[in-house]
DNA sequence: CGTCCATTTGACCAAGCTCAACCGCCGTGG
DNA sequence: CCACGGCGGTTGAGCTTGGTCAAATGGACG
């Protein structure tokens, strides 16, 4: 079974989505095959490239295979708000599934590879594989909670706490795919990007980062960030990891709902 | 008395959830039956009552039949952040579906009636009714976008713009269930609640509301709010209605998998 | 009539913004 | 090979939005 899961797709390797979902729930061969079949051609993006622009046609979702992207909006009042970051294994563009035109823009932060998922293919997946539908619903709910954490941070926390939370969140999400426990990572974001994600100006991001460095909370060398005392940062910011675990016990056992 | 008659499901009337979903997609008899069967006993809440506390056991979701609730968190740093408001027809508690303990608290804003939906029953629904799974996914995505609008507001907009957006958003959501076009509504929220939803203090909410009144944007009589010039407020705040329409064209046709 | 709670108002304060300049690195073109 | 230009990062000075603290008003209800 495990072997079948590892090598069942036509190309011989699994998409990052199957791998990530398998962290949360043991998938059947059919389910993995359906996830692979849903995904269309791959597409390469270079850093800064726009995958979908706001109000552009939204016919497909995408699975991130490699690299980072972010979703963002441009308020009428000027500026930009980054809503979240997307990593390998994420199903993205879901923000736009409820409309014909994209509600948010998707932009590559680093060089990326994504695969195309036509909306109708996702509809088919939902119809054929109820457990996967439930699992995707749960993962989306977890991402919603991660966003609500950011909302809380912007509403009720200081610049330093927000920054601490964001760095911890990025690291937590990277650990899901990176496997082992890491305490540093490359941050392909400018300070302006961080500011747009946290509702701060780049100037204030800079001052805050330096203050955190001065206090020994983090260390920076180039674009690499190390979290020096994770426990202290967590206590300071109130961060909660929303990525490590996703409850799936409420899903029906694997046999149910598979088309005969 | 009247309420009980309107919503007692054995008698054959539909739950608020079925009614709302039917606005977005024409449902089959089986689908409506499944939605009704999924819902357990109803429960009455009085204003201010806590339906689920943070970190409490999260075994069920709920459907709002009547009244308003809000979901909220209590950051370690003190205070409170209201994450969103929930109205008749909403499936709530989904924030906690990915974990065994509730990620956010649910509190009644006004007197409410909710029905219980065990998580496992939702899992069954997903397995049996793929179109409903897809529709619920789309509705959740729309709610996520509404939350991201709030995130944008908190990150990049002034207090007056945030308040304008929130009032417009509440009115837009009420229109989904209220049917016709309304231009005023009862707001069962204190100014402290508004502040907790927008990341402001109650003092500043008060000043901002009075300023909006003075400028003729809104009118208040007691807890009733009237939007005087909706078009102007929309232009001022950049509000986008995320509730009116949900695209369902990507869902498979109704016949799939079910013998009608 | 007194208590409680939401609203209102005033005086003062500070976190973070604006504007502006400067530095350092790197890719590019002459 | 070096000058130039652009971008990201860093730093300073002054300002604004919204927060804090405190107190008064006013309605609802026992």
The string of DSSP letters for B186-207 reads E----HHHHHHHHT--HHHHHH
| B15-40 pLDDT tens trace | 999 999 999 999 999 999 999 999 99
pLDDT surpassing 80 at residue B9:
no
The Cα–Cα gap between B187 and B71 comes to: 16
| B178-198 pLDDT tens trace | 777 889 999 999 999 999 999
Q: Chain B: residue nearest A257 by CA?
A: B127
pLDDT average, residue stretch A25-51:
95
Confidence bin at A176 (pLDDT 50/70/90) = confident
pTM of the model: 0.91
Interface test with A, best of B38, B58, B91, B130 (most A CBs within 10 A): B130
Q: What is the pLDDT of residue B244?
A: 87
SS3 labels along B113-136? EEEEEEHHHHHHHHHHCHHHHHHH
pLDDT surpassing 60 at residue B146:
yes
Contact flag, residue A42 CB and nucleic strand C, below 7 A: no
Nucleotides of D under 7 A from a protein CB: 7-13, 17-22
Q: What is the pLDDT of residue A209?
A: 98
pLDDT surpassing 50 at residue A204:
yes
Q: What is the pLDDT of residue B2?
A: 38
Query: Which residue, chain included where needed, has tokens 């709002």?
Result: B64
**3-state SS, residue B170:** helix
| B61-108 pLDDT tens trace | 999 999 999 999 999 888 999 999 999 999 999 999 999 999 999 999
Q: What is the pLDDT of residue B260?
A: 39
With contact defined as beta carbons under 8 Å apart, do B62 and B117 qualify?
A: yes
**Does residue B77 sit at the A interface (CB-CB below 8 Å)?**
yes
Answer whether A103 sits within 8 Å of B154, measured CB to CB. no
Closest Cα in chain A, distance from residue B156 (Å): 6
B111: its two tokens: 């007197």
Looking across all nucleic acid strands, the nucleotide with the smallest C1' to CA distance from residue A79 is: C17
Q: What is the pLDDT of residue A113?
A: 96
The Cα–Cα gap between B234 and B90 comes to: 25
| B220-240 pLDDT tens trace | 998 899 999 999 999 999 999
Kindly state the percentage of chain B with pLDDT values over 90. 84
With contact defined as beta carbons under 8 Å apart, do B64 and B177 qualify?
A: no
pLDDT average, residue stretch A54-75:
95
């Amino acid at each position: 079974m495990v072997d079948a899961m590892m090598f069942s797709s036509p190309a011989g390797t699994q998409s990052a989505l199957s791998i990530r979902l398998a962290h949360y729930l043991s998938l059947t061969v059919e389910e993995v095959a359906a996830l692979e079949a849903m995904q269309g051609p791959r597409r390469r993006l270079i850093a800064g490239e726009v995958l979908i622009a706001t109000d552009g046609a939204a016919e497909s979702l995408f699975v991130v295979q490699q690299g980072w992207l972010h979703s963002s909006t441009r308020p009428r009042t000027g500026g930009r708000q980054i809503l979240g970051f997307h990593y390998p294994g994420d199903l993205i563009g879901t923000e736009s599934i409820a409309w014909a035109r994209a509600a948010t823009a998707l932009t590559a932060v680093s060089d990326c590879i994504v695969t195309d998922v036509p909306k109708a293919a996702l509809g088919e997946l939902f119809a054929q594989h109820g457990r996967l539908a439930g699992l995707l619903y749960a993962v989306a709910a977890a991402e919603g909670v991660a966003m609500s954490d950011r909302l809380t941070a912007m509403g009720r926390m200081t610049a330093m706490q927000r920054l601490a939370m964001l760095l911890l969140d990025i690291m937590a999400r990277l650990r899901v795919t990176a496997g082992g426990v890491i305490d540093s990572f490359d941050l392909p974001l400018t300070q302006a990007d961080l500011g747009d994600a946290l509702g701060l100006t780049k100037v204030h991001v800079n001052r805050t980062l330096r203050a955190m460095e001065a206090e020994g909370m983090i260390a920076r060398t180039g674009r690499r960030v190390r979290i020096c005392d994770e426990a202290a940062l967590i206590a300071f910011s109130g961060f909660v990891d929303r990525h490590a675990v996703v409850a799936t016990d409420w899903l029906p056992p694997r046999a149910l709902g598979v088309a005969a």
